[in-house]
């Protein structure tokens, strides 16, 4: 029997305070999926890491489950993983490892309360790193920075601190400090206690590394000059006021910094402890009007991802729902804010990468997989009792365009179903025009690798071989019906209707767009990347 709703359930704020929901983000190849596995190892959620380093006998990571991900060794889709550590419940979201999938990463950042930013010790702050720092700042997400790959040659730690401060505007406040230069990691100094954490490498990094805590005096005897250098540098940080302050961290003024080597499992335990101690729990989230909805309110949540093909035995799809308030109970009747229609949450599951188990309850901060809730799309809100709608998730401006057709016309039904599903998931933007006809949609992508995902999914999930043709367009702008009529006869321009009924005008080059706008200043041409919520209503 389904339990009745109780917005005053005293368990809700208690459980919300236990949650730590965060995303792991970085420039490609900084080690996100490897860090995810290392965190799971130290939380004892898995026994062996399925690393991405091509070691014989080692499988793909828990969070990388698509064949394309396993083959390339990169993440191309986000994955949610929940596990318990100490007295906390950790909701970890591993994000795509390539800039072409930044739209998926940005959606994930709307569903978490903090971010762990991974920085390559050798490469420092790379372009995608800077973009993600900016997004976290815009969304008010506190950021914990992890300097990874300290077991390999890299920059000096002080130089990295200067780079972080100068380029992000955040004051780095290291919680630990490396003993031994990059490439010769001996361990780390715990800057709060002054102790030395010495690490012992495990074979291939497949199991949790063993750490030994030594006093400062013992570390000085054992490490000599390396310990002395680390102590001197830590004292410089003290002089500069680079010590952790929780209020400044949560306000987005500072970023705690940890040094680690995820592939060897060095420094990972301290990251887990830092998340539990300092990362914010689930708190009130603002609705579309900017009014915070308290976590103790009746149940509400929003969909930040839809994914199919995770279960090869069934053609199901899963809507990832971030619980924002109240208690989620499997079987409860919720309302779909977009349509006002009720539906039952009969098939609710907890996610562990690709693996799923039935879940009966969830609390603010948790991520619930609703199976075969076919009406739900990315950005949709759901609620019980008290109506609420959360801000929509923006669509990025596509920069690459391809016409798509089935190779075998007899497979048109599978082709159409596949395109509709990928559009539903937000994998790709689907556009159509009267000129090209209903049977020849055009796909818009932020990056060209998205087309590879489409091809892989169409072949393996929907058994429909496809043929794609690159189109000579580089820029998209939102327009209206009146402007579309004026644009239609112009050269190097084509107007499409996206699946959400938005009119998009595609231009061959930015210069062509500028020329047309200069000659026709009254045309409505909205830069999608800078559009506001009001622009999309």
Q: Which residues of 413-431 are buried (b: 16+ CB within 10 A; e: fewer)?
A: ebbbebbebbbbbbbbbbb
- What is the sign, positive or negative, of the torsion defined by CA atoms of 46, 51, 55, 60? positive
- What single string gives the DSSP state of each residue in 74-102? S--S-EEEEEEETTEEEEEEE--SSGGGH
- What single string gives the DSSP state of each residue in 356-402? EEE-SEE-TT-EEEEET-TT--TT-EEESSS---PPPPPPPPP-EEE
How many C-beta atoms lie closer than 10 Å to residue 39's C-beta?
A: 26
Q: Say which DSSP state 510 is in.
A: H
The alpha helices in 66-185, defined as continuous H runs, are 67-72, 102-109, 127-139, 157-168
94 is annotated as contributing to ligand binding: yes
357 is annotated as contributing to ligand binding: no
98 is annotated as contributing to ligand binding: yes
**Residue whose token pair is 């394309």:** 68
3-state secondary structure string across 453-493: HHHHHHHHCCCCCEEEEECCCCEEEEECHHHHHHHCCCCCE
Distance CA 446, CA 448 (A): 7
232 is annotated as contributing to ligand binding: no
**Residue whose token pair is 């002054």:** 194
- The helix or strand, by DSSP H or E, that contains position 415, with its residue range, turns out to be helix 412-425
Distance CA 92, CA 40 (A): 10
Distance CA 465, CA 462 (A): 9
154 is annotated as contributing to ligand binding: no
Tokens (6 digits) for 439: 């049977």
- β-partners of residue 355 are 352
If 0-12 CB within 10 Å is exposed, 13-18 middle and 19+ buried, where does residue 193 land? exposed
Distances (CA, A) of 515 to 175, 298, 357, 488, 504: 53, 53, 56, 16, 18
- What is the sign, positive or negative, of the torsion defined by CA atoms of 132, 137, 139, 142? positive
Distance CA 476, CA 141 (A): 30
Residue 143, helix vs strand vs coil:
strand
Distance CA 35, CA 22 (A): 13
If 0-12 CB within 10 Å is exposed, 13-18 middle and 19+ buried, where does residue 2 land? exposed
Strands lying side by side in the sheet with 400-406: 466-470, 400-406, 442-445, 429-432, 493-498, 503-507, 475-479
Distance CA 129, CA 176 (A): 21
372 and 348 in contact (C-beta within 8 Å)? Answer: no
Task: Give binding residues for GTP as ranges.
Answer: 94-98
Task: Give binding residues as ranges.
Answer: 94-98
């Amino acid at each position: 029997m389904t339990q009745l709703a109780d917005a005053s359930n005293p368990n809700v704020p208690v459980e919300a305070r236990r949650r730590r929901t965060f995303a792991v983000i970085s420039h490609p190849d900084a080690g996100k999926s490897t860090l995810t596995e290392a965190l799971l190892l130290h939380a004892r959620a898995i026994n062996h890491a399925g690393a991405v380093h091509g070691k014989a006998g080692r499988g793909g990571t828990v969070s990388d489950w698509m064949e394309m991900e396993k083959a390339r060794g990169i993440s191309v889709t986000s994955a949610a993983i929940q596990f318990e550590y100490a007295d906390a419940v950790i909701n970890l979201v591993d994000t795509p490892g390539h800039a072409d999938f930044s739209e998926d990463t940005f959606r994930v950042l709307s569903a978490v309360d903090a971010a762990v930013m991974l920085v390559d010790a050798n490469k420092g702050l790379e372009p995608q790193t800077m973009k993600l720092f900016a997004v976290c700042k815009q969304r008010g997400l506190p950021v914990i920075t992890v300097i990874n790959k300290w077991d390999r040659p890299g920059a000096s730690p002080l130089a990295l601190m200067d780079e972080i401060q100068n380029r992000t505007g955040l004051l780095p406040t290291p919680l630990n400090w490396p003993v031994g230069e990059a490439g010769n990691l001996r361990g780390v100094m715990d800057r709060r206690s002054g102790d030395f954490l010495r690490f012992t490498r495990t074979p291939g990094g497949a199991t949790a590394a063993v750490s030994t805590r030594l006093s400062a005096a013992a570390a000085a005897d054992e490490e000599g000059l390396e310990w002395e250098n680390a102590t001197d540098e830590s004292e410089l940080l003290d002089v500069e006021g680079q010590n952790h302050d929780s209020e400044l961290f949560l306000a987005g003024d500072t970023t705690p910094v940890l040094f680690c080597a995820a592939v060897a499992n060095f420094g990972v335990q301290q990251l887990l402890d830092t998340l539990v101690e300092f990362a914010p729990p689930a708190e009130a989230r603002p609705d579309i009007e900017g009014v915070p909805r308290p976590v103790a309110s009746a149940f509400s949540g929003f969909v930040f991802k839809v994914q199919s093909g995770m279960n090869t035995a069934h053609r199901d799809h899963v809507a990832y729902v971030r619980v924002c308030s109240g208690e989620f109970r499997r079987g409860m009747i919720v309302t779909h804010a977009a349509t006002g229609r009720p539906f039952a949450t009969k098939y609710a599951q907890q996610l562990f990468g690709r693996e799923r188990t039935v879940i009966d309850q969830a609390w603010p901060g948790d991520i619930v997989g609703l199976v075969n809730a076919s009406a739900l799309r990315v950005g949709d809100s759901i609620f019980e009792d008290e109506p609420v709608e959360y801000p929509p998730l923006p669509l990025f401006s596509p920069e690459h365009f391809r016409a798509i057709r089935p190779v075998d016309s007899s497979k048109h039904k599978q082709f159409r179903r596949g395109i509709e599903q990928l559009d539903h998931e937000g994998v790709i933007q689907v556009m159509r025009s009267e000129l090209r006809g209903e049977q020849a949609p055009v796909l818009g992508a932020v990056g060209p690798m998205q087309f590879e995902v489409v091809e892989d999914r169409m072949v393996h999930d929907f058994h429909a071989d496809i043929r794609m043709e690159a189109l000579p367009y580089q820029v998209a702008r939102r327009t209206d019906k009146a402007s579309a009529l004026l644009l239609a006869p112009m050269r190097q321009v084509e107007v499409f209707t996206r699946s959400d009924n938005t009119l998009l005008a595609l231009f061959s080059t930015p210069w062509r767009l500028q020329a047309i706008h200069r000659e026709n200043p009254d045309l409505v041409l909205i830069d999608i990347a800078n559009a506001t919520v009001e622009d999309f209503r």
